[in-house]
Chain A
Amino acid sequence: MLAVPFSLLLFVSNGTLATSGNTMDGGWQFNPAASLLALAVLSGPLTWLVGRWRPGLAWVAGALLAGGGLTTTIVAIATGDSGVDVAWAPSWGLRLAFDLDGLARLYALLATGIGLLVVIYARRYVPLHLHHQGRDEREAGPFFAAFLLFMGAMLGLVMARDLIALFVFWDVTALASYLLISYDRQDANARASALMALLVTGISALGLLVAALLIEDRYGTFDLGAVIAAAEAGDHSLGLTTGILIVSAALAKSAQLPFHFWLPRAMAAPTPVSAYLHSAAMVAAGVFLIGRFYPLLATEPRLLDGLAVVGAGSMAISGVLATTRADIKQVLAYSTISQYGYVVLMLGLGGQGHYGAVAAVFYVVAHALAKTALFLTAGAVTEATGERRLDRMGGLWRSMPALAAGSGAAAAGLAALPLTVGFFKDELFFAAALERGPAAVAVAVGGATLTIVYIGRFWGGIFLGPRRATADPVPLALVGPVVVLGAAILLTGVVPGPVARLAEAAAAVSLREAMTVSPAYHLDTRPENLMALASFVLGGTLLATRRFWSPAAMGLARIGQRFGPARAYGRGLDGFERFSGAMRRVEVRDLRGRVATILLPAGVLVIIALIATPTRDAFSFGTIQRGDAGLVMILIATCGAGIASTLPRDHLSMALTVSGVGYCLAVTYALFGAPDVALVAVLVETMFALLFLGMLSLLPRRVLAEEAAEPENHHHGRRDAALAVIAGVIALVVSWSALSRPTFRESVAVDYIELAPDAHARDVVTVILTDFRGLDTMGEITVIGIAMLGIAGLLRRGRLR
């Protein structure tokens, strides 16, 4: 990993970096993609180092890095596409190929811009948080390191064109999110929640890796650009399995049904983490992935229909649940699931009408601005009052007017009121639904109504109504970012053009064609306006009549808790733990158990292989010729030694008869014309015989004598004999089946013999060991070295430890 930044610096200074942007008069030029890639790799480690050096300065490093990323992204938006393309592992067809295209620019803007605001917020929040928990303030350093690691991984993810690089950055976001959610590591709930997020997003990420390999198998490259070009040329469709794997990874990351349950649990994280990961970054990564693979997914219309269904389901169910939650962060968590349900629905709808993809990207931006502000509000309010529940707050607008105004704008934006950027997100959403007919229209209006209800309840519950809690003053850094975000929502509500241009550029990448939308206010009775009006009226009515329907919503929530996928997750985890515990108990019980846990599965695998192997031409008898007499004799001797080794009672004779079997086999090799193998067999046998004797001489004779004199347990004896017979018969059948099969002339052995002179050798065994299969030898001597280290560890200074 460290090689990447160095090679990047090297390439930039040499000016040989492959660039595609506006060129100046030759020589060195600023490449935003390369800079962002360097940030992606270095952000986390640099912040960590600064945090180790001066914990108080970690946030400065974080803010500078995020600010640098933001500036670079803005420059990139002004200058257009740029990229990085250097060889990584050419023999595997892997290149470090990164494109800073429209889609990447939009998500990079979110990751860095919101990242910067949240770092500024966290600068005051995290020390307060640590103070409340009685922890050392120096622990702020690791927080910012994990935070910036996440931001860097997002930057790498959105730019990656190579599927393997994409997967690596995707996994780094999961790891960083684990670190961030479990930041309160003394809290068992936080640790369990972090593990849940890691497992749900990490296991589905393996699906993404499998999908990458399937794509490589089908299209012959890991380069997403080339894959999409091939798919467009009509060569191949993506295949339903691959598509489902990609979509599952994306849905798990975006916390959609049925993977949604990790997100509410992840609210155990400190509020800045929730504000960043669970509004702008981690959940957005899932939707980004769908956008990135959109041209491929679109080749399978069933996938898009599935997306629409999952999105609508998530939107409806989580929307209803959000109206039942009392904890303010839980309301926001379910709201996030519901809002991303919108986005997934729009992406699904985009298959036929092309509004969907643009609307989805526009929606992500508007949602990120509003939801981050609301999460930050939740943190500030909890900091001021010490409360987390809606029913213990109220009337706070008097004591925190600036916060109320900023978050009011954000809530209005989420609820899609006019004069906010949110109005246009719903306008585009309605337009996309209208392209698909009445059912989609009904779902869209329902979703918008639910949003108004839960966000109205959230904001009204905190700031309006009777005053239930006293609020201490909070630092400016906890209010400022909310006000900035609120202002941004209002500003883009009046001038939506820049956001629309960003969304168009991003959607053009997903749709592979230029796309224009012109959000504007129209004072007429066009369908979108009527739908918006309907949702306002319905939402207002539902808010006013909340106590009539809330029992029904609570009932749904209880059903979800009883039968939801979170329960299946818990049971699965428990089951795995019980299984591994039981296995471990068997393994550590005694020597027999330990050997059995290895040999039994191996034996079962061999039996399966035997059954699965075709038996044609196997199990035949050869003929014995006159020249084979020596071989037959030595084989009889081998059998005799094998039987003899079961008879003696004392350990020395056992060791010697077992060695006898080995020597007989060595002679067999020699008779078969394999002098190298025979030599090694004799030497190894001698070595082991002597080591056996050495070890035996270490044991007190009394123990050996008692062992040998112990009467045989007849019950065990019969069982052991039965096991031995079964094992022996299976071994016989396997070797017979393998050895009686006719050998083919095209064996690789022929090539080895032919190629040996090219490798300057006359002894083909040696050249196999050191050259043709040298890597195997390397592995084997590594094992020998590790074994020696193990023995040395056991026998420290000549004593058993």
Chain B
Amino acid sequence: MSPSSRYQVDAAQSRIDPSVTTVLTQTVARLLLVPIFMVALAILVKGYADVGDGFSAGVVAALGVLLQDVAFGYRAIGRLTIVRLAPYGALAGALIALGVTFVPVLTGEPLLRHRPGAGEPVAHLGALELITPVLFDIGVFLVVFGFAVGVIGMIARMHPRPIGPSRGTGATGGDEG
């Protein structure tokens, strides 16, 4: 890549170039990550009693990761463990949802027969109801989160050169995962 084209790529990114984000942005973003995950978990767990479900929770959690992306740059979040594992999370979620869907068939019941059935007692763990629909919802959460974060990660790894505050340390080595 010639120096001039490299300059142009840089210029294209300058609009949201994380190098222009301030320390304040980066600190807030880092501080917010765990609370955002907490909110996502709450939405997931309380889904059966209140607003929210696996899909919303997955998107909220993914937005938390996306915030890091905005603050620290694509390169930096491409190295996060959670981003690397996200596609496997999506796979696991799909397997969980498939399991909930198809395991009842093995005993001759219709697809997606949930347990416990209507009128049967339900075990609680705080707000969390221990029922198979919640397990299914967790599968949905993992698929959505894995998809969003996995795609962000893949695009992050597409960027031609390291940018953001990790510029000094991340410049060595190849740019693939």
Write the residues of chain A forming the contact surface with B, with a CB cutoff of 8 angstroms. 91, 652, 675-676, 679-680, 683-684, 686-687, 690-691, 693-702, 704, 758-763, 765-767, 769-771, 774-775, 777-778, 781-782, 784-785, 787-788, 791-792, 795, 797-800
Known: A760-B122, A792-B154, A795-B157. A676 touches B52 (CB 8 A): yes
Specify which chain B residues have a CB less than 8 angstroms from the CB of A775 in the assembled complex. Answer: 101, 111-112
Interface string of B98-131 (1 = CB under 8 A from A): 1001000000001110101011001000000101
Whether the Cβ atoms of A684 and B48 lie closer than 8 Å is no
Specify which chain B residues have a CB less than 8 angstroms from the CB of A765 in the assembled complex. Answer: 51, 53
Whether the Cβ atoms of B11 and A679 lie closer than 8 Å is no
- Cα A136 to Cα B102 with chains together (Å): 45
Least Cβ–Cβ distance between B83 and chain A, in angstroms: 12
Specify which chain A residues have a CB less than 8 angstroms from the CB of B28 in the assembled complex. Answer: none
Whether the Cβ atoms of B154 and A795 lie closer than 8 Å is yes
- Cα A610 to Cα B59 with chains together (Å): 36
Say if the beta carbon of B80 comes within 8 Å of chain A.
no
Whether the Cβ atoms of A784 and B143 lie closer than 8 Å is yes
Specify which chain A residues have a CB less than 8 angstroms from the CB of B119 in the assembled complex. Answer: 758
Whether the Cβ atoms of A798 and B51 lie closer than 8 Å is no
Q: How many B residues face the partner with a CB closer than 8 A?
A: 66
Q: What residue of chain B has the Cβ atom nearest to residue A778's Cβ? A: B101
Specify which chain A residues have a CB less than 8 angstroms from the CB of B154 in the assembled complex. Answer: 791-792, 795, 798
- Cα A765 to Cα B140 with chains together (Å): 14
Known: A785-B143, A788-B146. A701 touches B159 (CB 8 A): no
Specify which chain A residues have a CB less than 8 angstroms from the CB of B51 in the assembled complex. Answer: 675-676, 679, 763, 765
Whether the Cβ atoms of A792 and B158 lie closer than 8 Å is no
- Cα A687 to Cα B56 with chains together (Å): 11
Whether the Cβ atoms of B136 and A774 lie closer than 8 Å is yes
Least Cβ–Cβ distance between A91 and chain B, in angstroms: 7
Least Cβ–Cβ distance between A190 and chain B, in angstroms: 42
Residue pairs across A and B with Cβ atoms less than 8 A apart, 24 shown, are: A675-B51, A676-B52, A676-B53, A683-B63, A687-B59, A687-B63, A691-B151, A697-B13, A700-B12, A701-B8, A701-B12, A758-B119, A763-B48, A763-B52, A769-B140, A770-B53, A770-B134, A778-B97, A781-B97, A781-B139, A781-B144, A785-B143, A785-B147, A798-B176
- Cα A680 to Cα B60 with chains together (Å): 9
Given A759-B133, A781-B143: 17 more A-B contacts, CB < 8 Å: A675-B51, A679-B51, A684-B59, A690-B63, A693-B15, A697-B15, A698-B158, A758-B119, A759-B114, A767-B48, A774-B133, A777-B136, A791-B154, A792-B87, A795-B157, A797-B176, A798-B158
Whether the Cβ atoms of A784 and B144 lie closer than 8 Å is yes
B48 partner, pick from A686, A762, A782, beta carbons under 8 A: A762
Whether the Cβ atoms of A762 and B49 lie closer than 8 Å is yes
Whether the Cβ atoms of B101 and A798 lie closer than 8 Å is no
Specify which chain A residues have a CB less than 8 angstroms from the CB of B98 in the assembled complex. Answer: 778
Specify which chain B residues have a CB less than 8 angstroms from the CB of A704 in the assembled complex. Answer: 12
Least Cβ–Cβ distance between A699 and chain B, in angstroms: 6
Say if the beta carbon of B23 comes within 8 Å of chain A.
no
Least Cβ–Cβ distance between A684 and chain B, in angstroms: 6
- Cα A355 to Cα B106 with chains together (Å): 51
Say if the beta carbon of B66 comes within 8 Å of chain A.
yes
Specify which chain A residues have a CB less than 8 angstroms from the CB of B137 in the assembled complex. Answer: 766, 769-770
Q: What residue of chain A has the Cβ atom nearest to residue B17's Cβ? A: A697
Say if the beta carbon of B55 comes within 8 Å of chain A.
yes
A675, A691, A778, most chain B CB atoms within 10 A: A778
Q: What residue of chain B has the Cβ atom nearest to residue A770's Cβ? A: B133
Say if the beta carbon of B41 comes within 8 Å of chain A.
no
Q: What residue of chain B has the Cβ atom nearest to residue A703's Cβ? A: B12
